[in-house]
């Protein structure tokens, strides 16, 4: 997964946190000693500086959103499943009391690791499958896995969107489509936005949902480029600022003050953003090159390439 956060390779040496994880997940003393011995023989040790606070249940908070959504019900044509990465997840979901609520919503544990995300999702209701095929419906899957191309989860899912676990539950319950209102949307994000998926669909999905801009503290390198390619404006908060320090909640409407002509836009220039709450702030425009401005002018890299191809043929 190293390329998914912009790296060429990843190397993870054994440390005391690794050994603590083995203890917390019930590995025997023999296994832990053996593991320690192996890494000593290999020389895979490092000097420990300072203290590391290790919270094994941290990722459990991802599912807490389900508690606020229950007792809503998932529509009968929505198929749901939960495939954790390991049995550890099952244990902390059960001990925290979250799993019973997920079960009531239909998110039963179907297996571990590569199950639903590689197509082992099982059949959907025959009537639903027939309606999709006969009416040429673009059926969508919302998943918190890392594979989201067409037909991956199920042969009938042509649109697939990555989201956090609570958002998957929320979409199963609501299926809200912001674009249906005809109102463009923006995303307020933190640091290294886009880490975890370098695929173009991670940018194409938001574009199809009507996202016009992303305002973040910083961007993962490949994902920023993909956003530009989809015609989405990447903006960075100024140093020391973010949505929290500026008091932004996401309930505001935003106006991004860009010149009407792309010829008046410069890579890396300051851009003023004004909100309906009366707040305004300055961001850095993360179009980094002139060719990226050209992509934006055409609405994305695909439109740019097609128009250039048509022009060269005439």
Render pLDDT for 14-40 as a digit per residue (tens, 0 to 9): 778 888 887 887 777 777 666 555 444
User: What tokens does 235 get?
Assistant: 């903006």
* Percent of the chain residues past pLDDT 90, beyond the cut: 30
Q: What is the distance between the alpha carbons of residues 210 and 183, in angstroms, rounded to a whole number?
A: 8
Q: Is domain 61-176 in CATH 3.30.499.10, yes or no?
A: yes
Residue 64, token pair as written in the block: 């807490």
CB-CB contact of 242 with 217 (8 Å): yes
Q: Please, are residues 77 and 14 in contact by the beta-carbon 8 Å criterion?
A: no
Confidence class for position 42, pLDDT limits 50, 70, 90 = very low
Closest CA to 216 of 191, 240, 185: 191
How much is the pLDDT for 180? 65
How many Cβ atoms are within 10 Å of 284's Cβ, its own excluded? 14
**105: closest CA among 166, 54, 15?**
166
Numbered ranges of CATH 3.30.499.10 in the chain:
61-176
pLDDT of 197 reads 54
Residue 57 pLDDT level (bands cut at 50, 70, 90): very low
Predicted confidence at residue 157, as pLDDT, reads: 82
The CATH architecture one would assign to domain 181-313 is Alpha-Beta Barrel (3.20)
- Local confidence band at 268 (pLDDT 50, 70, 90 cut-offs): very high
Is pLDDT at 306 greater than 70 in this prediction?
yes
Mean predicted lDDT score pLDDT of the chain: 78
Q: Is the pLDDT of residue 207 over 90?
A: no
Look at residue 274 and tell me whether its pLDDT is greater than 60: yes
* Domain span(s) for CATH 3.20.19.10 in the chain: 181-313
């Amino acid at each position: 997964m190293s390329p998914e956060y912009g790296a060429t390779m990843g190397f993870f040496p054994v440390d005391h946190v690794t050994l603590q994880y083995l203890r917390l997940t019930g590995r025997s003393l023999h296994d832990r000693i053996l593991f320690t011995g192996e890494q000593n023989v290999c020389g895979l040790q490092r000097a420990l500086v300072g203290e590391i606070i290790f919270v094994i249940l941290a990722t459990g908070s991802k599912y807490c959103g389900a508690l606020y959504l229950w007792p809503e019900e998932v529509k009968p044509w929505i198929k749901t499943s939960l495939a954790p990465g390991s049995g550890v997840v099952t244990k902390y979901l059960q001990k925290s009391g979250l799993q019973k609520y997920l079960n009531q919503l239909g998110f039963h544990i179907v297996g571990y690791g590569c199950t639903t995300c590689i197509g082992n999702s099982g059949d959907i209701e025959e009537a639903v499958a027939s309606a999709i095929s006969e009416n040429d419906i673009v059926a969508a899957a919302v998943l918190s896995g890392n594979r989201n191309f067409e037909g991956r989860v199920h042969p009938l899912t042509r649109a697939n969107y990555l989201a956090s676990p609570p958002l998957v539950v929320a979409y199963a319950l609501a299926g809200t489509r912001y674009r249906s209102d005809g109102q463009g949307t923006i995303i307020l994000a933190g640091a290294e936005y886009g880490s975890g998926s370098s695929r173009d669909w991670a940018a194409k999905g938001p574009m199809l949902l009507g996202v016009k801009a992303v305002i973040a503290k910083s961007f993962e390198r490949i994902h920023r480029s993909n956003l530009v390619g989809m015609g989405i404006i990447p903006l960075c908060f100024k140093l020391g600022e973010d949505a929290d320090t500026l008091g932004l909640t996401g309930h505001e409407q935003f106006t991004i003050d860009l010149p009407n002509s792309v010829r008046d836009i410069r890579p890396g220039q300051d851009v003023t953003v004004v909100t309906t709450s009366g707040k305004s702030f300055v961001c850095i425009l993360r179009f980094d090159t002139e060719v990226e401005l050209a992509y934006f002018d055409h609405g994305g890299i695909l439109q740019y390439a097609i128009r250039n191809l048509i022009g060269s043929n005439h």
